[in-house]
Amino acid sequence: MKDYNEVAKGWIEGNFDPETKCKVIELRNGDPKEFEDAFYRNLEFGTGGLRGIMGVGTNRMNKYTVGMATQGLANYILRNVEGPKSVCISYDSRNNSKLFAKISADVLSNNGIHVYLFDNIRPTPELSYSIRAKGATAGIMITASHNPKEYNGYKVFWSDGGQITAPVDKDIVAEVNRISDPDEVRFNPVGEIGGIEPMGADIDELYLRDILSMTLSPEAVSRHTDLKIVYTPLHGCGVRLVPEALRRLGMKNIIHVPAQDVSDGDFPTVVSPNPEEPAAMKMAIERAEEVGADLVMATDPDADRMGIAVRDNEGKIVQFNGNQTASMLTYYILTRWKELGKLSPDKYCVKTIVTTDLIADICKSFGVKCYNVLTGFKYIAEIVKEHEGDGEFICGGEESYGFNVGQFVRDKCAQVTALMVAECAAWAADQGLTLYQLMQKIYREYGLYEEKMVYIVRKGKSGAEEIRKIMEDYRAAAPSEIAGKKVVKVIDYLKPEETDLPKSNVLQFFDAEGDSVSVRPSGTEPKIKFYFEAKGDDASRKIAALVEQFIN
C-alpha cells in the first residue's frame, strides 16, 4: 500500500465531506500513532465481512469503508445472480449501527437491488432467519458482536441464511477489493431504484413461532414455570426477544437488570459487553443473589451468543463456560430425541475444532455423527447446507458461547439457546437435579473435561506483526511437550492435506492422553488466542501447567 501520509492526504484533498477532512487533520496533528494506524492499510474485507474500530481512515469503520464494501457486494450480486435481487439488513445497538445500516440500504437500493430493512435493532440470528423467510439473495448484519464499544462490523450472509463461505466469499471479497475510491460508490440515486421496505413485527412472530416449535419438554416446563431466571441483554438487542421467548415457553419469573435493559452503544455498565468475561455478568449475578434466582442468562449486543450462571451444591452462583453449556445442551437434546424416538442414522451434530471433545463423546454414545469444523459458526452452517435433503441437523456449538438448534437459523442463536437452557433446567428439576448437578452427572458418565481459553492482546500495526511472529515461531519449532507430556501430534490447519478442511491459521498440539493446546489469531480483534483442554481427574492441574507453559 502507498505511504500512509499520502493516503491520508487523499482524504484531505479528495471528495470527502468537510467533517471527515477536519477529523483527519485533527488526528494527524494530535495523535501520530493513531493516525498511522488509521491509514497504514485498508480495513480488510475478509471472508466474513468487515470489523474494526470506528473513525476516519482506510483502516476504520466509517461511512466510506461501509459504502465501498456495500458497492462491492452490489456489484457481485448484479453480475452473478439471475432474477429478482434483494437483501435483508439488520443492526444492533452499537454506536453508528443504524447509520451504517441506512447507508448500506441506500447503496443497494441505488444499485437497483430491493432492500428489506428492520425497523429497529434485531439479533443476528433473526437476520439469518429473515433471509430465508423473505427469499432474499443476501443479508447484512451491522454488528461487532461482543467487541468493545469502539468497534463495529459488517457481516455478510447468503441466500441460505448462513454467513458467506467458499467460493462466494472469496468472489465477493474480490469485488470489494476492486472498489478503490468512494467516488465509485452509489451513495446517491442513479437510474433504477430498488426500494427499501421495512420489516419488523411480522418477522418477529414467524421467528418466535419456529424456534418455539423445537422445544422438547413442555410437560416439564409446565411443572416448573416459577423457575427464577435473571436475564441481561448487556445493553444489546436481546432485550427485544429473549424475555418474550421465555414467557411464551411458559416461564413466569423473568427478572431483569433494568440498567442493562437500556440499548446503548456505550455499554455504560460494563467494560466489555462479552458474556465470556466474568465482569460482564457481575450485575446480573448480584441481581440473582438479591432475588434468590436459580439461573442467570446474559446475551451479547447482537444476541447470537449467551452465557449462563447456575447455583452449585453450596448455593453459590458459578458461571459455566461455553464448552459446558454446549455439552450440557447436547446431552439434554440427544437424550430427549432418543426418548421421543427421533434419532436415526441421518441425524448429526457439529462442533468446531477448538470446542471440547466431550461433545463428540456424547454424540458417539448416542450413535450420532459429530462433524468437526473450523472455528466460526459459518462452518457449522455450511455443514447444514451441504446436508439439506440427506440429513437433519440436531444442534451444534462452539466454545465461544455460540449454540444453535435446528435448521430455522443458520447461525448461533441466543434466543433458542435461552429456550433450551430454561427447558433443560425444568427437565433436570423433574429428576431432582440442578443444572450444576446435571453437568456433574455428565462428567461422571463421560469423564472429567476441563477447558480454558486465554488471549493476549497486541494492538495496532506492531501488534499485528507480533502476533504473526508468534505463529511463525510455533510453526518453526513446535513444543516437544505440553504439561510435561510428550507431544505426539501436531496439526497445522494451513496444510489442508493434513486436515481435510480449508486453510486456516490454527495450530494444535496433542499429547498421548488427548490433552491439547490450540493457538490461533482472532479474526475479529487484535488478539492471539490459546485454547487448553485436559481430561481426567487431574485436569485442573494440567490446565494450570499449560497456562504456565504458554502464557506465563
Q: Characterize 513-552 residue by residue with b for buried, 16 or more Cβ atoms within 10 angstroms of its Cβ, and e for exposed.
A: eebbbbbbbebbbbbbbbbbbbbeeebeebbbbbbebbee
The three three-digit cell numbers of residue 417, written as one number: 439457546
Of the candidates 534, 416, 435, 429, the one whose C-alpha atom is nearest the C-alpha of residue 485 is 534
Rounded distance, CA 26 to CA 8, Å?
12
* Catalytic residue chosen out of the listed positions 86, 90, 128, 145: 145
The three three-digit cell numbers of residue 321, written as one number: 463456560
Amino acid at 426: A
Rounded distance, CA 350 to CA 334, Å?
13
Of the candidates 324, 355, 315, the one whose C-alpha atom is nearest the C-alpha of residue 531 is 355
Rounded distance, CA 172 to CA 79, Å?
11
Rounded distance, CA 124 to CA 343, Å?
29
Length reported for the chain = 552
Of the candidates 430, 389, 423, 390, the one whose C-alpha atom is nearest the C-alpha of residue 405 is 423
| Strand order across the 347-352 sheet | 369-373, 347-352, 392-398, 402-405
- The answer to whether 420 and 329 are in contact (CB under 8 A) is yes
Specify burial of residue 53 (Cβ count, 10 A radius: 0-12, 13-18, 19+).
buried
3-state SS of 299-345? ECCCCCEEEEEEECCCCCEEECCHHHHHHHHHHHHHHHHHHCCCCCC
> What percentage of the chain's residues is helix, strand, coil (to nearest 5)?
40, 20, 35
Rounded distance, CA 166 to CA 46, Å?
12
Q: Residues with Cβ < 8 Å from 409, sequence gap 6 or more?
A: 125, 126, 128, 129, 161, 211, 416
Rounded distance, CA 58 to CA 27, Å?
13
Does the annotation mark 145 as catalytic? yes
Torsion angle defined by CA atoms of residues 362, 367, 373 and 376, in that order, rounded to the nearest 10 degrees: -50
Q: Which residue has the cell 426500494?
A: 195
Amino acid at 277: E
| Three-state secondary-structure class, residue 119 | coil
Residue 59, number of CB atoms within 10 A of its CB: 23
Q: Residues with Cβ < 8 Å from 46, sequence gap 6 or more?
A: 173, 523
Q: Given the DSSP bridges, would you call strands 114-118 and 229-232 parallel, antiparallel or unpaired?
A: unpaired
Q: Residue 146: what are its φ and ψ, rounded to 5°?
A: -100, 10
Annotated active-site positions, please?
Answer: 145
